[in-house]
Structure 1
Amino acid sequence: MTPLYVPPRYNIETQHNGTEHLAINNTFVRRILTRLALHTTAKFYSRDGLCVPISKHKIVKSGRRVHLTEAYIVMERIQGEELPKAWKSMSEESVEGVFAQLRKIFQELRALTPPPGTGVESCVGGSLYDSRIPRGNPRFGPFKTIQEFHFWLRRDLKPEDLKDREKDQDWHDLQDMMSKQDGAWPPPSFTHGDLNPFNILVRGGNVVGIIDWEFSGWYPHYWEYTSAWFGNVTRTEWQGMLDKVLDRPRPEEFKMEKVRNKWWGE
C-alpha cells in the first residue's frame, strides 16, 4: 500500500529545507545596509521579478518565495546567445553539432549514480519546485519512492475509486496509467526538468551553458523527455528536435504521461 504523503508546510522555509548556504561577508552591518538599500536606492532601478538591483553592481532577491537568509548569489556570467536566436545565423552543420553536444551533455548527466536510498528529491535530498504542477505550490516532496511520487501526481487516485465506470474509455486509460505508475521502476535519473531552447546558451557553434536549474532534481528516468515535451506544446519545432538530444521513453511510458497531463497537468 502506498504510504500517505505529507506535503511540506506552506511557508517559505520549506523552499530551502535540506540545503546549505555559504555566507560571503555576512555581517550584521552588511545585512542592515542591504536592507536599507532595498528600501531606498532600489527605487532608482527597474525590478525584474524577484531580482532587485540596489546599486550598479549588486542585486538582491526579494519576495514571497525568497528565504530571509538568501542574500547573496554568486554566479559566473556566461557569454552566449539563447539557442533560438543563435540558430537563425547558424549553418545546418553547426546546428547538428550543437545537438550532438547537447546529447553528450545529457548522457553524462543521466550517467550520474543516485546515492543509496534516493527517491524523487532535490540534489540535496530536499523538496522540489515545478510551477507546471498545480499541486506543487510552493514546493513538493521529497518522496521516498517513484511510486509514491506517481501517487501524489494523480492526487491520490486509487483503482477502486473508478468502479462502475468500466465502460468509459477514460477508465481504461486511467487504469493503464495507474498500473504502469505503480509498477517497478529503475533508479531515478538526475534531471534538469525544464529543457527548452531558451535555456541553452551557445557561442561560436558550441554549447557554453545550460541555465535555469530551479526545476532540477532526481526524477523518474522518463521525466526529462516528457517534461520537455509537454512543457513546450506551443514549440512544435522543438518537440520535433527532442529525439536528437534525449532518448524517447518507451511508448507505454509516454502514454502514461499523456494521460496524466490530460487530467492533472497545467
Structure 2
Amino acid sequence: MGAHVVFADSQTVVKFGRSRSLKGGIHPYIVMSYERGESLAQYWDRVSKPEQNRILQQSQEDYMNQMREIPDNFIGGLDESPCRDGIFEADNGDYTCYSYGPYASEESFNEGIIQALRDRMRPKVLERENDTESNFFNSEYMLYQTVRGLKNHKIVFTHGDLHPGNIVVWADGTVVLLDWGLAGFWPENWEFYRALFNPPWRASWDRMVEKFIPPFYVEHSVLKRVFGTVWN
C-alpha cells in the first residue's frame, strides 16, 4: 500500500507513508513492537503433534476466548470507522475512497453487504432489477434474502486477518498475532470466514481453524459466495 517500515531501535519499528484518508494528506506513522519469531507455517512442520495441539490450544485460550468476550454495539473498525473488507471494495481497491458503515446492528450490516452487491452494477443494469422474469435478478434477489438470513450473532472484537503469516511463535513457544490493521468489532462468525479467506498454506489449515476459532460453516459459505459475486 506504499508504506515504509523502518527500525527505530532493536525492539521497535515504525510504519509511515502519505495517507489520503486523513485531511490534508498528512504523513501519519504507527509505532509497533518488533516480534522476533518463527512463522506458524515454518514452526508447524518441525514440531511434534502434541506441540502442534498446544499451539492451537494457546491460540484459542489466550486470544480467541478473551477477544470474543469484548463486545460492542457497532460493526466497523476499532475507532468506529467504516468496514474494511474485499466485499466492500469491488472495482475500487482503495479503502480511503468508500464508506460502508459503521453499522449499529447486524441487520443494518447485512443491508450494507446488499448495498455493496448493488453498487457493483451500473445504474442502467439496476433499472431491470424488478423484472421477475430475469434469471439474473432472481438470483440476485435470492442472494440478498440469504444475506438477510444471517442473524442473531453477537458483535465481538475480531482480529479479521488470521492466516499463518500473521501468526508467529517465539523461541519459548509463545504464540503472537501480528497485523491488527483489519481488527474491529464484527459479527461473531466473521473471524472464521476471514481465517478461511486466503488460499491455505496447506490443505489441513481449513480443519485447523475450527480448533481455535468457533466455526460457522453456513455463514462462511454465504459470505464466500457474496465475495465471489461482488468480484465476478
Tell me if 1:120 matches 2:75: yes
Moved more, 84-93 or 147-156: 147-156
Q: Which residue does the alignment assign to 1:164?
A: 132
Residues 87-166 of structure 1: pairs in structure 2 closer than 5 A: 87-104=44-61, 105-114=63-72, 118-130=73-85, 133-135=88-90, 137-139=94-96, 140=99, 141-154=101-114, 155=116, 157=118, 161=129, 163-165=131-133
Q: Which residue does the alignment assign to 2:169?
A: 202
Quick one: which of 210, 227, 231 aligns to 1:261?
A: 227
Residues 205-216 of structure 1: pairs in structure 2 closer than 5 A: 206-216=173-183
Quick one: which of 48, 52, 62 aligns to 2:17?
A: 62
Deviations 1:196-251 (A, max 9, x none): 01101112463331010111111122111112212336753322311112121153
TM-score normalised by L of structure 1? 0.66
Q: Contact 1:191 / 1:217 at 8 angstroms: preserved in 2?
A: yes
Q: How many angstroms apart in 2 are the aligned matches of 1:239 and 1:265?
A: 23
Deviations 1:143-179 (A, max 9, x none): 2332333233232549x9364347x59945x444422
Q: Contact 1:188 / 1:221 at 8 angstroms: preserved in 2?
A: yes
Specify the SS of the correspondent of 2:44.
helix
Show structure 1 runs of 4+ deviating over 4 A.
52-60, 64-67
Aligned-pair distance for 1:121? Answer: 1.4
Look up the equivalent residue of 2:85 and give its one-letter code.
D
Q: How many angstroms apart in 1 are the aligned matches of 2:107 and 2:148?
A: 5
Structure with higher Rg: it is 1
Specify the SS of the correspondent of 1:189.
strand
RMSD between superposed Cα atoms in Å: 3.3
Which ranges of structure 1 fall in alignment gaps of 5 or more residues? 1-47
Specify the SS of the correspondent of 2:132.
coil
- Structure ranking higher in strand proportion: 2
Q: 1:134 to 1:235 in 2, by over 3 A?
A: farther
Q: 1:170 to 1:86 in 2, by over 3 A?
A: farther
Residues 36-55 of structure 1: pairs in structure 2 closer than 5 A: 49-51=2-4, 53=6
TM-score normalised by L of structure 2? 0.74
Q: Contact 1:232 / 1:238 at 8 angstroms: preserved in 2?
A: no
